[in-house]
Chain A
Amino acid sequence: MRVLQTKGEGLSKNTLYDKVWEKHIVGILPTGQTQIFVGRHLMHEVTSPQAFEMLRETKQKVKHPELTFATLDHVIPTKDVSRPFKDSEAELMTKTIEENVKEFGIEYFAPKSGKNGVCHVAFPEQGIIWPGQLVVCGDSHTCTYGAFGALAFGIGTTQVSHVLATQTMAMDKLKVKRVNFNGRLQNGTSAKDLALFLIKTLGVKGGVGFAFEFNGEAISNFSMEERMTLCNLAVECGARSGYVNPDETTFEYLKGKPKAPKEDFEKAVWYWKQMASGNDAEYDDVVELDASSIQPMITWGVNPEQAIPISEKTPSLENFIGKAKEELEDAFKYMGLTPNQSLEGLPVDVVFIGSCTNGRLSDLQQAAQILKGKKVKVKTLVVPGSEIVQKKAEELGLGKIFKDAGAEWRNPGCSLCLAMNPDRLEGTQRSASTSNRNFKGRQGSPTGRTHLMSPLTAAATAVEGKITDPRKFLK
Chain B
Amino acid sequence: MESLKIQEKAIEKIVGKAIPKPSNDQNTDDIVPARYLKEITFAKMGNYAYFDERFKDGKEVKEHVFNQPAHKGAKVLIAGANYGCGSSREHAPQALKRFGIDAIIAESFAEIFAGNCASLGIVGVTVPAKEIAELAEIAELKPETIFEVDLSSKIVKAGDKTVGFEILEGRRQAFLNGTWDAMAILQHNQAGIQATAAKLPYLKLK
Known A-B contacts A31-B179, A39-B202, A158-B119; A209 and B196 likewise in contact (beta carbons under 8 Å): no
Q: Please tell me if A428 contacts chain B, counting CB pairs below 8 Å.
A: no
Tell me the B83-124 residues at the A interface (CB within 8 Å). 85-90, 93, 107-112, 114-116, 119-120
Cα A169 to Cα B27 in complex, Å, equals: 24
Expressed in whole angstroms, the minimum distance between the Cβ of B94 and any Cβ of chain A is 8
Please give 9 more A-B residue pairs, beta carbons under 8 A apart, in addition to A50-B40, A208-B110: A30-B173, A33-B182, A35-B186, A155-B115, A156-B115, A156-B119, A158-B120, A165-B183, A440-B52
Q: List 20 A-B contacts (CB under 8 A).
A: A2-B107, A24-B196, A26-B193, A29-B185, A33-B174, A35-B193, A37-B196, A47-B90, A87-B38, A93-B40, A139-B88, A155-B112, A156-B112, A162-B186, A166-B186, A205-B82, A205-B108, A238-B82, A263-B206, A268-B205
A188 on interface, CB distance cutoff 8 Å: no
Contact present for B90 and A3 (CB under 8 Å): no
Instruction: Point out the residues of chain A lying under 8 angstroms from B63, CB to CB.
Output: none
Task: Report chain B residues within 8 Å CB of A53.
Answer: 40-41
Q: How many interface residues does A have (CB within 8 Å)?
A: 87
* Cβ 8 A contact of B206, one of A2, A5, A167, A261: A261
Q: How far is the CB of B205 from chain A (nearest CB, A)?
A: 4
Interface string of B172-206 (1 = CB under 8 A from A): 01100101011101110100110111011111011
**A77-107 interface bits toward B, Cβ cutoff 8 Å, 1 = contact, 0 = none:** 0000000000101101100100000000000
A26-B192, A31-B170, A418-B34 are known contacts. Are A130 and B202 too (CB-CB below 8 A)? yes
**Which of the residues B4, B25, B108 comes within 8 Å of A303, measured between beta carbons?**
B25
CB pair A159–B119 under 8 Å, yes or no, is yes
CB contacts (< 8 Å) of B41 on chain A: these are 49-50, 53
**Contact indicator A158/B90 (Cβ below 8 Å):** yes
A315 CB, nearest partner CB in chain B, Å? 16
> Residues 337-379 of chain A: 1 if any B CB is under 8 Å from the residue's CB, otherwise 0?
0000000000000000000000000000000000000000000
Q: Is the CB of A23 within 8 A of B112?
A: no
Nearest-Cβ distance from residue A147 to partner chain B, whole angstroms: 17
Q: Mark B27-50, 1 if CB is under 8 A from A, else 0.
A: 101100111011111100000000
**Which residues of B have CB within 8 Å of A7?**
168-169
A172 with B112: in contact, given A5-B126, A50-B42, A303-B27 (CB under 8 Å)? Answer: no
Q: Which residues of A contact B177 (CB under 8 A)?
A: 30
Q: Taking A2-B108, A5-B166, A158-B120 as contacts, is the C-beta distance between A140 and B88 under 8 angstroms?
A: yes
The one of B169, B179, B187 in contact with A166, judged by C-beta atoms closer than 8 angstroms, is B187
A89-129, CB < 8 A from B: 89-90, 92-93, 96
Q: Judge whether B90 and A157 touch: CB under 8 Å.
A: yes
Beyond A168-B186, A208-B108, A209-B111, whether A140 also contacts B206 by CB under 8 A is no
Q: Are B38 and A31 in touch, CB under 8 angstroms?
A: no
Interface size class of B (residues with CB under 8 A): 35 or more
Asked if A75 is at the interface (CB within 8 A of a chain B CB), the reply is yes
Instruction: From known contacts A140-B86, A158-B119, infer whether A32 and B40 are also in contact, taking CB-CB under 8 Å.
Output: no
Q: Which residue of B lies closest to A161 (CB)?
A: B183
Beta-carbon nearest neighbor of B187 in chain A: A166
User: Could you say which of B29, B120, B171, B199 contacts A442, with CB atoms under 8 Å apart?
Assistant: B29
The answer to whether B166 and A46 touch across the interface, beta carbons within 8 angstroms, is: no
Residues of A within 8 A of B1 (CB): 30
**B112: nearest chain-A partner, CB-CB:** A154
Among all A-B residue pairs, the 6 with the closest Cβ atoms: A156-B116, A32-B170, A156-B90, A31-B170, A158-B119, A154-B88
Once bound together, how far apart are the Cα atoms of A213 and B23, in whole Å? 30
Select B116's contact among A158, A268, A440, beta carbons within 8 Å: A158
Q: For A267, what are the chain B residues with a Cβ–Cβ distance below 8 Å?
A: 205
Identity of the chain A residue whose Cβ is nearest the Cβ of B195 in the assembled complex: A26
Q: Could you tell me which A residues sit within 8 Å of B by CB distance?
A: 2-5, 7, 23-27, 29-33, 35, 37, 39, 46-47, 49-50, 53, 63-64, 67, 74-75, 87, 89-90, 92-93, 96, 130, 132-133, 138-140, 142, 153-159, 161-162, 165-172, 204-205, 208-209, 235, 238, 240, 261-264, 267-268, 271, 303, 323, 326-327, 418-420, 424, 437, 439-442, 444, 446
Interchain CB contact under 8 A, A262 and B206? yes
What is the distance, in angstroms, from A96's C-beta to the closest C-beta of chain B? 5
Taking a contact as CB atoms under 8 Å apart, the answer to whether A29 and B182 are in contact is: yes
Q: Are A268 and B29 in contact (CB under 8 A)?
A: no
B128 at the A/B interface (Cβ < 8 Å)? yes
Please measure, in the bound complex, the distance between the C-alpha atom of A261 and the C-alpha atom of B205, giving whole angstroms. Answer: 6
Nearest to B87 among chain A residues (CB) is: A140
Residues on B with C-beta less than 8 A from A27 are: 189, 192
- In the assembled complex, the CB of B76 is this many whole angstroms from the nearest CB of chain A, namely 18
Give bound CA distance, A422 to B95, whole Å.
24
CB B89 to nearest CB in A, in angstroms, measures: 7
| B149 interface residue (CB < 8 Å to A) | no
Interchain CB contact under 8 A, A271 and B202: yes
Minimal beta-carbon separation of B20 from chain A (angstroms): 13
* Contact indicator B186/A169 (Cβ below 8 Å): yes
Cβ contact of B88, chosen from A35, A89, A138, cutoff 8 A: A138
Complex contact B24–A327 (CB within 8 A): yes
B80 close to chain A: CB less than 8 A = yes
Cβ contact of A204, chosen from B42, B82, B182, cutoff 8 A: B82
A96: chain B residues within 8 A (beta carbon): 40
Q: Which residues of B contact A130 (CB under 8 A)?
A: 202
Nearest CB on B from A104, distance (A): 15
Is B77 close to A, CB under 8 A?
A: no
- How many angstroms from the CA of A24 to the CA of B116 in the assembled complex? 22
B81 at the interface (CB under 8 A from A): yes
Q: Is the CB of B197 within 8 A of A37?
A: yes
Contact check, A437 vs B29: say whether CB atoms are below 8 A apart.
yes
Chain A residue numbers with a CB within 8 Å of B197 are 37, 64, 167
